[in-house]
Amino acid sequence: MRISRSLYGQLALALILIFSATQPIYGQVDIENGKKLFKTNCASCHKLDKKLIGPALGGIMERRSEEWLILWIRDNAKLRASGDADANAIFDEYNGSVMQAFPQLSTEDIQNIIAYCEEGDKKAVAVAVAPVLEAEEDPTILLVILGAFLVLFLGLLIRVKNTLKQIQGDPAMSLKDDASYLIRVLANNRRFMTFLTVVLAITFLKVLFSWMMGIGVQQSYEPIQPIAYSHKVHAGDNAIDCNYCHSSARSSRIAGIPSANVCMNCHMYIDGSEITDESGLLKYHGENSPEIAKIYAAIGWDPVDRAYIKGYEQQPIRWIRVHNLPDFAYFNHAQHVTAGKVACQTCHGPVEAMEILFQYSELTMGWCINCHRETKVKTDNGFYDEASSHGGQSINERLAARFHDASIMVEDIGGLECGKCHY
């Protein structure tokens, strides 16, 4: 019996060591935080796998050192002024396009962003194929392999134990007897049962909490629209400014859904008959695109006579809203687009690459708060320059006196006050 207990002790020790060995060892960088910082500060101009406004950042450490990247990201203008050849070469390559400086980012923040650029999303899928966001690595295969290994290891230990018992002249135990014995030992061990209860309770609470936090979150929501409108074709291939169709975003709370007459500004002349397929042949054999024809049918346009049909009863295009905030949350597009100079991609993702539009970001309160904590106030937007009744000082002058020219984040000017979004 002494041999049996010893072997079970060795088995328990082996299981602990194997479990410990399979856990990830995290260094000083936080890739998940780097991902959040990348989306907040970099995603509007950069992608990991291909050039956007700026160069692709995947595998950036193969081209630049970490020290150089920290200097470049924090203040690229200062680095160029120092005469750095690489910095000036990049500036010239992109026709003098000025990259925003990020003095508010700490060295650790920048290291986290660089780590994310190196690691990337292991299972990220192309937007047009499957818009599932922030795909995490599936642990199922690893768990199956680990489970199979543990079963083999357990069988080996049982065989060794039975061999030792036979050498000593004791009768060998069957697998069923060994399993029954192990269950009895663990069931009678108060510490083990307490530990198991705590683990199960924590697991249940975590699953429950994750489920509750997902209520009302519509990330990846991708409804089928009445007309197959492609943001990739319009905002990407043809580089149409987002504000052309969503003009109210610059001056109103809502971005607005463009009316059919906005579509007709272009499609009065572009009927889709010139669209070609992958082989270069006319996709619709020279006829109007069936999707563009839906616009004509809604507004009453005769593509043959190239005129609006008199007395036509127009019908609204019933677009399905993609981004939905709860009624108790207030969001103002003009405050972000015009005053904050926030790029559309910051919240809506790489719209210019989406064949079918979907909700890219979580749009949860925590997501918004993190953005307000990490985003610098655009004090050069002209809204803070006018003198006020506070001693004749402008808001910029008062902010400079208060923060001593340090980076001013949105949270510093009331961006986390409850009444800003809930009133």
Rounded-to-integer distance, Cα 363 and Cα 325, Å: 8
Summary count for the chain: helices (H), strands (E):
18, 2
Q: What is the pTM of this model?
A: 0.56
Can you spell out the DSSP letters for 159-227?
Answer: HHHHHHHHHTTPPPPPHHHHHHHHHHHHHT-HHHHHHHHHHHHHHHHHHHHHHHHTTT--TT--PPPSS
Quick one: 151 exposed, middle or buried, by C-beta within 10 A (0-12, 13-18, 19+)?
exposed
Which tokens is 347 given? 């919240």
Q: How many CA atoms lie within 13 A of 402 on its CB side?
A: 12
Q: Is residue 111 within 8 Å of residue 69, measured between CB atoms?
A: no
Can you spell out the DSSP letters for 232-276?
Answer: IIIIIIS---HHHHSGGGGTSSS--PPPHHHHHHHHTT--STT-B
Quick one: 393 exposed, middle or buried, by C-beta within 10 A (0-12, 13-18, 19+)?
middle
Q: Is residue 231 within 8 Å of residue 345, measured between CB atoms?
A: no
Give the C-alpha distances (Å, rounded to integers) separating 28 from 7, 42, 276: 38, 21, 51
Q: Is residue 208 within 8 Å of residue 344, measured between CB atoms?
A: no
Helices 107-119 and 66-74: angle between axes, nearest 10 degrees? 120
Phi, psi of 253 (to 5 degrees): -65, -35
Question: For residue 184, is it left (φ>0), alpha (ψ between -120 and 50) or beta?
Answer: alpha
Quick one: 345 exposed, middle or buried, by C-beta within 10 A (0-12, 13-18, 19+)?
buried
Amino acid identity, position 217: V
pLDDT (tens place) for every residue of the chain, 423 residues total = 444 555 555 555 555 555 554 444 444 578 888 888 887 778 767 878 777 667 888 888 888 888 899 998 988 888 888 988 888 888 888 777 778 788 878 888 888 889 888 887 653 333 333 333 444 455 678 888 888 888 788 778 777 877 887 787 777 666 677 778 778 888 899 999 999 999 999 999 999 998 998 888 899 999 999 999 999 999 999 999 999 999 999 999 999 999 999 999 999 999 998 888 888 888 988 899 999 999 999 999 999 998 999 999 999 999 999 999 999 999 999 999 999 999 999 999 999 999 999 999 999 999 999 999 999 888 887 777 765 655 666 776 777 777 766 778 899 888 999 999 998
Cα 258-342-356 angle, rounded to 5 deg: 45
Q: Which helix (H) or strand (E) holds 307?
A: strand 307-308
Rounded-to-integer distance, Cα 21 and Cα 11, Å: 15
